[in-house]
Amino acid sequence: MEVLRRSSVFAAEIMDAFDRSPTDKELVAQAKALGREFVHARLLRAGLSWSAPERAAPVPGRLAEVCAVLLRLGDELEMIRPSVYRNVAHQLHISLQSEPVVTDAFLAVAGHIFSAGITWGKVVSLYAVAAGLAVDCVRQAQPAMVHALVDCLGEFVRKTLATWLRRRGGWTDVLKCVVSTDPGFRSHWLLTTLCSFGRFLKAAFFVLLPER
């Protein structure tokens, strides 16, 4: 009951941030909440489970909308290059037994993704990479690594993306990426954007999506 109460309070605080200009701290909290939902969805799709007490309360309405769009855009991105977001640990040639190795590899990939600027396409790619690594971790009996990945994602957002997000009014700006809300009508930025993908280089790979 205490976990549920705290989760409800946390959800209320996140929703309050959507009603005004969010602070960096709030943007990071939202980034981690979105990360947990994105990862959870990908684990379910892979037939896997993961325990996250922070998910005890339902995702608030506005945040749920953002999460649904991120997942939808992620689906399209993974459809274009499915091999990029599967077996990520194998592609990076890393062991999942060490938290520093996993988080350092994720940060290396994240750094390369945003080395030429920030776009929503790259943000979606970042979440897809984190989810791909999370699936690998759970499959190899390292579920605790998933929490470390979510925390690492939040820290990257704080250091690299928070200012960009704040200038755009927060996470809800991603809703503008979707032209049609009809699931059968794939008319959004992924169909009108030229996507170019680099090759894996040692412990990192490049995913470059131009400005929408």
Closest CA to 7 of 76, 55, 74, 63: 55
Sign, Cα dihedral of 172, 131, 126, 102: positive
CA distance 60 to 38: 15
Compute the C-alpha angle 131/137/140, nearest 5°: 145
Per-residue pLDDT of the chain (212 residues; tens, 9 = 90+): 555 555 555 555 555 555 567 899 999 999 999 999 999 999 999 999 887 666 556 667 788 999 999 999 999 888 888 888 899 999 999 989 999 999 999 999 999 999 989 999 999 999 999 999 999 999 999 999 999 999 999 999 999 999 999 999 999 999 887 654 444 444 444 433 333 333 333 333 333 334 44
pTM for the predicted model, two decimal places: 0.78
Tell me how far apart the 2 most distant CA atoms of the chain are, in Å. Answer: 48
Closest CA to 28 of 14, 7, 39, 16: 14
CA distance 4 to 174: 29
